[in-house]
Structure 1
Amino acid sequence: MLHTALQTVTIAVVAGVASTLLGRRLRIPPILFFLLLGVFLGPLGLGWVRPESLGNGLVVLVEIMVAVILFEGGLSLSTHSFRKAGAAIRRILLISLPLTGLGAAVLGRLILDLAWPKALFFGALIVVTGPTVVGALLKAVSLSPSLRSLLDWESIWGDVLGVLLSGVALKFILSGSGHGPERIGFLFLERLLLGLFVGVLAGEILRRWVFPFVMRLQEPALPGVTAFAAALGIFHVSNLLSEHSGPLAAAAAGLVLSIGKTSAIEDVRHFKEQISIVLIGSIFVLLSSTIDPFAVAAHWPGMLVVALILGALVRPASVLVALAGTPLPWRERLYAGIVGPRGIVALATVAYADILLKGDPVMPIITNLTFVIIFLSGAFATLVSRPLAALLDVELPSSGLGILIVGIHPLSSQIAQFASQRIPVAFLDTNPSTCSLAQGWGHQTVCADVLNIHVYEEALEQGYGRLLAISNDDALNQLVAQAAAVQLGPHRVFRAKADAAGDPLLMETPHPPRQAFGSGFSVREALDELKQGRATLEVLSVDGKVADHVTPLLIFTEDGKGVEIVENREGIRGSALCLVRKPPRPDDRQAF
């Protein structure tokens, strides 16, 4: 038995991590790989993964996973993103989710003949989208900041509300007819308020006392481990006080830490992301291996009809109704309605209920129905999310992302003036007097610590998805690029060489930023040439071949809607801002 349990967990972890790596490599959500491998490796396939060998341990692992996912989800949210799409977020949570749940319950009742308590339980658990699938989708598709915020907030708080509602419905099922509607409402309100209270209180304790103490110990590994223990503790204590309130408490505590800008938050996020990769993948594989579609073969036609109607009609209609009248453009509303993949929290919730209601003949139907909805919605999101974003014109290409510029001088001012004709551009500097100089030149500024990674997190939410480090100090450029790459990604961070000679003391990083303006360019040399009149900045039409005395810096994209930062001289076409060097005069040449 011990060997079987160890084998099951080991293979599930390996399969889960391998699926995550494959999904990242293909830039698609890995949920399909989780589901397929779970079935293939489970009792219906090779039989290598046997969840029954874990006994009640599977429930424990599921609860740990939910606590970590929602705590990390709360950490990833910010009040700025809520302000950007606050009306849409509120309406999607308060209108769309209940409509989707009610529609799912009606479908379960009419098509599968589920009793109303079981139908309402199914409707409550299936409303969730989930950060595990939506987060992977947002990494694969670059969307507008408002649409990103909407999908992100729905995935976190939709999970929380779904777990709360399904927990209340499950309580009603277990107690038979012992609870009337008023009692059900009271239970939900009790869990909602208690979960919020425990989460906010615990988050404040962590923010004010625990993490400052941990940071004073100066051990880089401690913040993440402390947060992991705190997430489990908060989840468990809240559940002890009121059943199924733990998910809300974990998410609320994470949000408090995010809003409070806790100094250790990035160490915590990094550790939580690593733990989440292991937990999510392995437990998704474990839960998928419990599915037995042959046990409910007679109900499969009805289950497929429910899944298709829910995804093709109920979800889009409820989102469009909820978002009607909001500032969100209709294309973004339609995208949010069509793309709504269900995630692991729905599967974990139904697996938990299946264990509590062991032997109930209806639970295999609900379990398999949840599985097929997750599979179909995940497959649809995987295959359609990027083409649909392009079709609806809601995908934001990298050339359309705003640029933060570090380094204020005449050259960077001209670059900003050129780029701001198409995209948002702002200067980032720590010194208030330098920010005032940029403002005097007519530029937007962000006056903040350039080495604070939270600055780049907020900048990304405001549409500034790229950074150009172009100061005349190579060390500063490198440090800024390293800080920005944590949030923006190294592929969206550009660093220009400050000194033609370079600095041998600079250390290369595993994921270096991209080279801006080519290897032959240096900021100090360009500034010197501009100051002495030996070079000018001109907008030229470039057609593939660039003269030796011309260095392209920025170029408009062909559609005229974006700006690309030039990395090399080859294959450049279009309207470009170029550094044009003048031929040397005879009296400037050295005599030999």
Structure 2
Amino acid sequence: MVTQDLAGALDPMTAIALVGVLGVGAQFLAWRMQMPAIVLMLVAGIIAGPVTGFLDPARDIGPLVGPIISIAVAIILFEGGLTLDRAKLMDAAKGVRRLVFVGAPLGWLSSALALHYAAGLDWQTSAVFGGIMIVTGPTVIAPLLRQAKLSRRPAALLQWEAIVNDPIGALAAVLAFEVVMVRSTASSGWHATQELVLGIALAGAAGAAAGYGLATAFRRGWVPEYMKVPVLFATLLAVFAATDSVLHESGLLAVTVMGVVIANAGLPSYAEILRFKEHATVLLVSGVFILLAASLDFAMLGQLTWRAALFVGAVVLLARPLTVILSLIGTGLPWREKALIALTGPRGVVLVAVAGLFGERLAALGVADGALVAPLAFVLVTATVVLHGFTLKPLAQALGLAGGDAPGILLVGGSAWSTALAEALQKAKVEVLIADMNRGRLQAARHAGISTFYGDILSEAAEHNLELARFTRLVALTDNDAYNTLVTTDLAPEYGRDNVFQLARAKENQARYALPATLGGRVFAQGKSLEDLHALIRAGWEFRTTGLTSEYDFAQWQADRPDALLIVAIYPNGQLRFPREDSRLKGGDGVQLVHFSPPKLVKDPAA
């Protein structure tokens, strides 16, 4: 049995396992409690680390902590680069260019001013730390966007800004530090400039070459399918280590460029690679946040004064809004989107990791304020993570840039039955959309005022033009069993396998036609086919919505309508439940049942 030794230290294996359990556990608990995951991860790390002393990464894991964090940040940035598909940028392209080419220098300047005048740091430290503060943290933005469900364009702007500016911020800090080092030593300024330019050029070229080489190898079949992800990881680590050895932190630029090149290469296996990388990133983000929070030294924070709070306020209320507003002048973006982006600037892992590194280097050069960089960075990250974690979603809803709390339903397949279902859901205040590749099948839905999409739901046009984050359930209702299975299988990772449904397939009970559990979605409408459902419509069946009360519960409704097909239960908080054939629902007052029923034969007091 693994225990702590007499000095209270955990062995490295136990410490690493604990980091994983705390990180993933915090994310799972946040999902269950509908809270920002980053906040719970910080709390878990602080309790396990400085509060209880149970976990001390430097003591328990040793000198590997720094390399682990560096590699994790590199993989996180690479995964972020994989999401930067030019086709997905759409109308946010101009805003992204402004936030990068105009916003980064403005952010550097405004952050340096905040550090000097609010935090009281000297100009040397302010210039170095201000460069690092350009970053807005993709490790934080991604979970926040997932929780807030922002509209497509502001979400794209925040995501691209965070990922692209992350290596730029690190390199800006490198540039400022080189200047400080030249002033503090007798080194040649020309030599320092040459080293910087060479490092950046090498990083960009190495990342582009590695991305292009991998894309070519994958496309031409030079790498077997089962080896693609291992080869990708090995190349990623090699590129990061090689470029970082030339110029510190240039490896971040290299792996980001590498990810962008692969994202835009049009690889058939790109979706599988991206999905695996997303899973890895969830683990890495969790682990890095736990490690950083557990490494916090309260004595280090004791060096700060009231000016630290003034500094955080200046960054959140002045530096960030002014940078964004000035950068986006003339882009044509609505003021609501500008306001949301201006008031959203969480900092994350890269800021803390890089700030700690340069703080130590500044202190070693004799810059007294260098010791304050790490504690200020942690305070800024903690404050912005907590602030934006709790305010982004309400702010987006207030500005009309979020899908809201009420989940929606995406129906794939236009028909008389699906149109009738959509009308019933819409009357019950559930957002619904019908997608079909046949324009004629959508005509009745459009006349009924139901949102529609003409085209293949799996196409890039659907991904670019539909805000799919508004919908939490998908139901495939076409008359093509194979297409229904394809849609639910392909989109199951996006919605969750428990949230995709399809009509029963013909002959699916026969062994010759049975499919493995990994394909298709859950059976919908209690195993009825589309032909069966249309036959019931012709027999007079129709959709109704029945409200349950404490006096008229689910059991009573079942007794009154034993033949009805229960489609969905809508709870007072807006949550939806698609019951299985043999399931019994709990809940009374406020629950609405949308069902497909035969003509009324008994009095239904709650209908």
Tell me if TM exceeds 0.5: yes
Please state if 1:386 is matched with 2:393.
yes
Q: CA deviation at 1:325?
A: 4.0
Cα distance between partner residues in 1 of 2:283 and 2:596: 49
Q: Compared with structure 1, are the counterparts of its residues 50 and 224 closer, same or farther at alpha carbon in structure 2 (3 Å cutoff)?
A: same
Q: In structure 2, what is the equivalent of residue 301 of structure 1?
A: 306
Q: Is the 1:101–1:127 contact (alpha carbons within 8 Å) kept by the matching residues of 2? A: yes
RMSD: 4.5
Q: In structure 2, what is the equivalent of residue 204 of structure 1?
A: 212
Report how many aligned residue pairs link the two structures. Answer: 566
Cα distance between partner residues in 1 of 2:356 and 2:214: 32
Q: Which moved more, 1:114-123 or 1:176-185?
A: 176-185
Cα distance between partner residues in 1 of 2:94 and 2:418: 37
Q: Compared with structure 1, are the counterparts of its residues 243 and 140 closer, same or farther at alpha carbon in structure 2 (3 Å cutoff)?
A: same
Counterpart of 1:208 in structure 2: which amino acid? T
Q: Is the 1:456–1:488 contact (alpha carbons within 8 Å) kept by the matching residues of 2? A: no
Q: Is the 1:419–1:563 contact (alpha carbons within 8 Å) kept by the matching residues of 2? A: no
C-alpha distance after superposition, 1:310-340 (max 9, x if no partner): 1122212322332344343322322222222
Query: Any residues of structure 2 matched to 1:23-38 within 5 Å, and which?
Result: 23-38=30-45
For residue 455 of structure 2, give the secondary structure of its aligned residue in structure 1: strand
Q: In structure 1, what is the equivalent of residue 384 of structure 2?
A: 377
Q: CA deviation at 1:71?
A: 0.7
Cα distance between partner residues in 2 of 1:218 and 1:477: 26
Cα distance between partner residues in 1 of 2:414 and 2:145: 33
Q: Is the 2:182–2:192 contact (alpha carbons within 8 Å) kept by the matching residues of 1? A: no
For residue 467 of structure 1, give the secondary structure of its aligned residue in structure 2: strand
Q: CA deviation at 1:578?
A: 8.6
Counterpart of 1:162 in structure 2: which amino acid? G
Q: Is the 1:191–1:244 contact (alpha carbons within 8 Å) kept by the matching residues of 2? A: no
C-alpha distance after superposition, 1:95-146 (max 9, x if no partner): 3333232122112222344232210111111121212111111121111111
Q: Is the 2:570–2:577 contact (alpha carbons within 8 Å) kept by the matching residues of 1? A: no
Q: Is the 1:165–1:188 contact (alpha carbons within 8 Å) kept by the matching residues of 2? A: no
Counterpart of 2:351 in structure 1: which amino acid? A
Correspondent of 2:533 among 509, 526, 538: 526
Cα distance between partner residues in 2 of 1:511 and 1:213: 26
For residue 435 of structure 2, give the secondary structure of its aligned residue in structure 1: strand
Unpaired runs of 5+ residues, structure 2, are 1-6, 447-451, 602-607
Please state if 1:139 is matched with 2:146.
yes
Cα distance between partner residues in 2 of 1:577 and 1:183: 73
Counterpart of 1:336 in structure 2: which amino acid? I
Q: Is the 1:196–1:248 contact (alpha carbons within 8 Å) kept by the matching residues of 2? A: yes
Identity %: 23
What TM-score do the two structures reach when normalised by structure 2? 0.77
Counterpart of 1:84 in structure 2: which amino acid? D
Q: In structure 1, what is the equivalent of residue 130 of structure 2?
A: 123
Correspondent of 1:343 among 326, 333, 348: 348
Cα distance between partner residues in 2 of 1:45 and 1:529: 64
Cα distance between partner residues in 1 of 2:593 and 2:240: 55
Query: Any residues of structure 2 matched to 1:430-469 within 5 Å, and which?
Result: 435=438, 444-447=453-456, 458=464, 465=471, 467-469=474-476
Query: Any residues of structure 2 matched to 1:465-480 within 5 Å, and which?
Result: 465=471, 467-474=474-481, 476-480=483-487
Q: Compared with structure 1, are the counterparts of its residues 502 and 60 closer, same or farther at alpha carbon in structure 2 (3 Å cutoff)?
A: same
Q: Is the 2:77–2:252 contact (alpha carbons within 8 Å) kept by the matching residues of 1? A: yes
Q: Is the 1:500–1:521 contact (alpha carbons within 8 Å) kept by the matching residues of 2? A: no
C-alpha distance after superposition, 1:536-570 (max 9, x if no partner): 878x8876799959879799999xxx999987999
Cα distance between partner residues in 1 of 2:251 and 2:362: 21
Q: Compared with structure 1, are the counterparts of its residues 181 and 468 closer, same or farther at alpha carbon in structure 2 (3 Å cutoff)?
A: farther
Unpaired runs of 5+ residues, structure 1, are 430-434, 585-592
Counterpart of 1:175 in structure 2: which amino acid? V
Please state if 1:258 is matched with 2:263.
yes
Cα distance between partner residues in 1 of 2:95 and 2:209: 28
Q: CA deviation at 1:179?
A: 8.4
Q: Is the 2:403–2:470 contact (alpha carbons within 8 Å) kept by the matching residues of 1? A: no
Correspondent of 1:228 among 210, 226, 233: 233
Cα distance between partner residues in 2 of 1:71 and 1:211: 20
Cα distance between partner residues in 1 of 2:87 and 2:432: 17
Q: In structure 1, what is the equivalent of residue 21 of structure 2?
A: 14
C-alpha distance after superposition, 1:175-219 (max 9, x if no partner): 33678999988776655544333222211111111465366x343
Cα distance between partner residues in 1 of 2:577 and 2:298: 52
Query: Any residues of structure 2 matched to 1:180-219 within 5 Å, and which?
Result: 191-210=199-218, 212-213=220-221, 217-219=224-226
Q: Is the 1:342–1:374 contact (alpha carbons within 8 Å) kept by the matching residues of 2? A: yes
Q: Compared with structure 1, are the counterparts of its residues 3 and 543 closer, same or farther at alpha carbon in structure 2 (3 Å cutoff)?
A: closer
Cα distance between partner residues in 1 of 2:439 and 2:519: 33
Q: CA deviation at 1:377?
A: 0.4
What TM-score do the two structures reach when normalised by structure 1? 0.79
Q: In structure 2, what is the equivalent of residue 589 of structure 1?
A: none
Correspondent of 2:65 among 42, 58, 68: 58
Counterpart of 1:174 in structure 2: which amino acid? M
